[in-house]
Amino acid sequence: MNGLVLPATAMMWVGLSVSPASQRHAEDQPVSRIQRQLPATRSSNQQPAPSGVVVTDTFWSQALGIRKRLLVWLPPSYASQPGRRFPVAYYLHGAWGDETNWTMQGRLDATLDSLVAAGMPEMIVVMPDGDDGFYTTWNSLGDYAACRRASPPARRDGESVDTYCVPWPHYDDYIARDLVAFVDRSYRSLAERRHRGIAGLSMGGFGAVTLALAYPDVFAAAASHSGVLAPSRGTARAPVPTDRFDPQSIRASYGDGFWVGLATIFGKDSVAWAARDPGRLAARLLSRTKDLMPALRVDCGVDDPFLVQSRAFRDAALALAIPLNYAEHPGSHTWDYWRRQAAGSAEWLARQLSVP
């Protein structure tokens, strides 16, 4: 592991360079439901530690103009202590995914159960459906009518066009405003910034960091696994010039299939891309309201095609003297990597959000 924390003084979707078949292979590998060593082994006459509960919910999003689904992990004490309120962490999926990814492929609920049994402070964990929207307001509306005439991507089992196609792709307001408000009025949350954090993988890593930087009144901490944290830098597939905005090089680096989505969401000019760039968002927040700078955590696999982007964001944070918990680990852009690293972000978020 190559890890560091930058002191205060001192950016594909899930499938890029990883074929659907290889993703399934990684997802089918055996996974331990205990993600870290517990302090002691229970004797045979002890009761098993209580576990959390995953519930499915839906709500109307004004920002998108449709109803959306979410999964909510309620910690063990949620039922047994009905007068207690809890911090909330939001976990965002990657592109070509949905709200079930973190539990079905990531086994996040089992990881959380194990961490709480080992002493981690309890929190509510919310996993929303983000479609393939990059958790931002799109540069153009997209073709809503054409989306409704087609079928949702085959990977999204049973989803209808009524929940996949959105007339108003404001995915940032959907998460930071609509979803947060719904959770705070529907569950026993501690409805304050200091008790609210966000994390995500790949596209969701981009969403977590940019939402925390763009809505600093909402989120106090953000964690990214393999995030798209410097979109204009492309991937390891092909180099992209760093001294200018070069759409053709960016397109070649991501590939034509991926570029189609990015061009709709991010646009095709440097101004639109810069407005969504995590490093630039951090600089803007620092110049305006540095007291609201969220705690930031970034990790990436050393064989991940997006490692160049995590390193670029690391360098931007260093240049801005923004504290960043940064680490690189063995692994690539796969669920095997994200399953192994989820415990780290969950523990980190729980510590950040469990403040008086």
User: Which domains does the chain possess?
Assistant: 8-26+50-136+148-231+276-353 (3.40.50.1820)
- Rounded to an integer, what distance in angstroms lies between the CA atom of residue 94 and that of residue 205? 8
**H or E element, residue 71:** strand 66-74
Q: Which whole number is the average pLDDT over 10-17?
A: 33
Q: Would you say how long the chain is, in residues?
A: 356
pTM above 0.85, yes or no: yes
User: For residue 25, is pLDDT > 90?
Assistant: no
**Cβ-based neighbours of 186, under 8 Å, separated by 6 or more:** 57, 59
As a dihedral over the C-alpha atoms of residue 318, residue 349, residue 18, residue 242, rounded to 10 degrees, the angle is -20
Crossing angle of the two packed helices 247-254 and 256-266, in degrees rounded to 10: 130
Q: Which whole number is the average pLDDT over 36-46?
A: 44
Q: Are 89 and 347 in contact (CB under 8 A)?
A: no
- Rounded to an integer, what distance in angstroms lies between the CA atom of residue 235 and that of residue 254? 6
Q: What is the pLDDT of residues 277-322, one digit of tens each?
A: 999 999 999 999 989 999 999 999 999 999 999 999 999 999 999 9
CA end-to-end span of the chain: 33
Crossing angle of the two packed helices 108-117 and 335-353, in degrees rounded to 10: 40
pLDDT band for position 164 (50/70/90)?
A: confident
User: For residue 158, is pLDDT > 50?
Assistant: yes
User: For residue 255, is pLDDT > 90?
Assistant: yes
pLDDT band for position 102 (50/70/90)?
A: very high
Lowest mean pLDDT among 163-172, 187-196, 213-222: 163-172
Please provide the average confidence, as pLDDT, over all residues in the chain: 87
Predicted local distance difference test score (pLDDT) of residue 272: 94
Strands 324-329 and 295-301: parallel
- Rounded to an integer, what distance in angstroms lies between the CA atom of residue 186 and that of residue 124? 12
**Residue with structure tokens 């989120």?**
219
Lowest mean pLDDT among 104-108, 181-185, 265-269: 265-269
Predicted local distance difference test score (pLDDT) of residue 98: 94
Q: What are phi and psi of 92, to 5 degrees?
A: -100, 140
pLDDT band for position 48 (50/70/90)?
A: confident
User: For residue 22, is pLDDT > 80?
Assistant: no
Predicted local distance difference test score (pLDDT) of residue 154: 61
Q: Which of 227, 233, 205, 189 is nearest to 304 (CA)?
A: 227
Predicted local distance difference test score (pLDDT) of residue 160: 82
Q: Which whole number is the average pLDDT over 37-63?
A: 75
